[in-house]
Amino acid sequence: MFIDTHAHLYSDKFKEDRTEMIQRALDAGVNRLFLPNIDENSIEGMELLVKQYPNVCYSMIGIHPCDVRKDWQTQLKTIQSKFIKNHHIAIGEIGIDLYWDKSLVSEQKEAFAAQIKWAISEKLPIVIHARDSFTEIFEVVDILNDDDLTGVFHCFTGTKEQAERILNYGGFKLGIGGVVTFKNSGLDKVLASVPLTELVLETDAPYLAPSPYRGKRNESSYIPLIAEKLSDIYACSVEEIAKITTRNALSVFKLSEDE
């Protein structure tokens, strides 16, 4: 069995076939789906899926860096008002994204730091979005990291050195998705020096579909394609990839096999 640790299944991209899409994931052996929040408006759809699919869909809560505004403090208060203790499994998706817009970098850093502190206070893992921003991400995490902080660097596509720095924090895993299946991504070479025990699987659905679906809508049923690529990299069976990455995900998100 697999876990998709990062999938925006509440997205309108699935409005025509959401039920069928989730069934395809279950049929493919992807029996847990972790849903990251992005803003105030995505919470309702996300929580509806959790209600419809108990013990399959699990929700996180936070502000995606691309959705951080100048009034991020007000945004965060709204998000926190919808937080349910012992229900949300992580604070995420949070982080810094400087690919599209650098004008709010200070606000993104402040919002990121505030949400890390929130996660620490609630003893929850964090899910970090880092795009063109490893330097800024590391600046914040270097200050706030402690023995209790855990989480996932979502959609990791960094260098060997960046992977080492992340793993040296002590409580983080690397989220590996469809990019690892892309020709010339180079991620396979980076992972050659990363133990399988440090990885979790994710799709980022509906984005970043793995080959042979690259450029099309992604969905959680494609997790086995990522596992197949990892089985080549680590020279082990897909079953072993499933076993180890599932164990890793349950550990970092502080869940048991029967929760």
pLDDT given at position 256? 86
Is residue 200 within 8 A of residue 152, CB to CB? The reply is yes
How many domains are there within the chain? 1
pTM, rounded to two decimals: 0.97
Which CATH number belongs to the domain containing residue 9 in this structure? Answer: 3.20.20.140
* The 3-state secondary structure of 62-86, one letter per residue: CCCHHHCCCCHHHHHHHHHHCCCCC
pLDDT given at position 257? 82
In a domain, 257, yes or no: no
pLDDT given at position 117? 98
Dist. CA 218–CA 214, nearest whole Å: 8
pLDDT given at position 135? 97
In a domain, 258, yes or no: no
Dist. CA 118–CA 229, nearest whole Å: 36
In a domain, 259, yes or no: no
In a domain, 215, yes or no: yes
| Positions of the chain with pLDDT under 70 | 259
For residue 204, what are the domain limits? 2-252
In a domain, 7, yes or no: yes
Contacts with 91 (C-beta within 8 Å, 6 or more apart), sequence order: 60, 61, 62, 115, 116, 118, 119, 122, 124, 125, 126, 127
pLDDT given at position 259? 64
In a domain, 99, yes or no: yes
pLDDT given at position 239? 98
